[in-house]
Structure 1
């Protein structure tokens, strides 16, 4: 399975927003400048996150994006689904219907052992992402890279100038 680069961009951007003061909206251009990303493309990811209720958008000259919920209430799955959509990674085309001895009345998505194995794997992957919050990721980063919060705040401060 391969996810779009938008997932990585969204994860890092949401993580960066956890270190900024509550209520501080950051324009998409400044969020994009942090990693030298194309602002228009990151803005599309931010709009998807806003539609999913992960971030909120404030219009106007002092507007921008901020987390819509506390990091404890945002799972990594919330971010992935906002960017990639809710569909399962594996799409069963019921290939067995075209094979010898096929029964057109059978729902091969249920009967096919390949489909069932892939759905179990997808469910395990989703459970893992749903079980980890943005707050968990933030804590892991802060433990392994303690300078990250300060560096992030300093970088956004420099970008305002």
Structure 2
């Protein structure tokens, strides 16, 4: 299983916005400088989070992004689904029905194979784990100085 880099970027941006609070909207450009990321690609991730209702955006020269709801109401799975999409990770293509299996009676393929079942159970466990963790949980697990360090760093960027 592989998630896009956009998931990590989205999670870090959401966490940063949570630490900064609602003082002001933070632009894509400022977040890109913050993390040394390409602004155009980062903006695609932020727009996906906005469409999913995780972020809100304010247009204009003083515009940018804020969290749309409290960090205790945004799960890691929310961000993963917004950035990478809700599709299943494992796509069973029923290869057991090809080659030598092509001659097997169709009734033997009425149930998913053991591989598809195992992959589905693993994915469900993964999704449940991510859905059980919120941005607030990540904030609580971070070093005590993380929030203050984020605010100081932001003040230097805004200058």
Q: TM-score, normalised by structure 2?
A: 0.93
Unaligned runs of 5+ in 2: none
Query: What is the total number of aligned residue pairs between the two structures?
Result: 157
For 1:63 and 1:106, the matched residues in 2 are separated by: 59
> 1:60 is paired with a residue of what secondary structure?
coil
Q: In the aligned structure 1, how far is the partner of 2:11 from the partner of 2:104?
A: 44
Task: Supply the distance in 1 between the matched residues of 2:13 and 2:92 (Cα, whole angstroms).
Answer: 33
Structure 1 stretches of 4+ with a deviation exceeding 2 A read: 99-108
Unaligned runs of 5+ in 1: none
Give the CA deviation at 1:21: 2.7
Q: Which runs of structure 2 are paired with 1:12-91 in the superposition (5 Å)?
A: 12-91=12-91
Indicate the structure whose relative CO is greater, using CA pairs within 8 Å and at least 6 residues apart: 2
Instruction: Give the superposition deviation at 1:146.
Output: 1.5
**TM-score, normalising length from structure 1?**
0.92
2:154 equivalent among 136, 153, 156: 156
Does the C-alpha gap of structure 1 residues 105 and 70 become closer, same or farther in structure 2, counting only changes over 3 Å?
same
CA–CA distance in structure 1, aligned partners of residues 42 and 87 of structure 2: 22
Partner Cα separation in structure 2 for residue 33 and residue 51 of structure 1: 23
How large is the Cα RMSD of the aligned pairs? 1.5
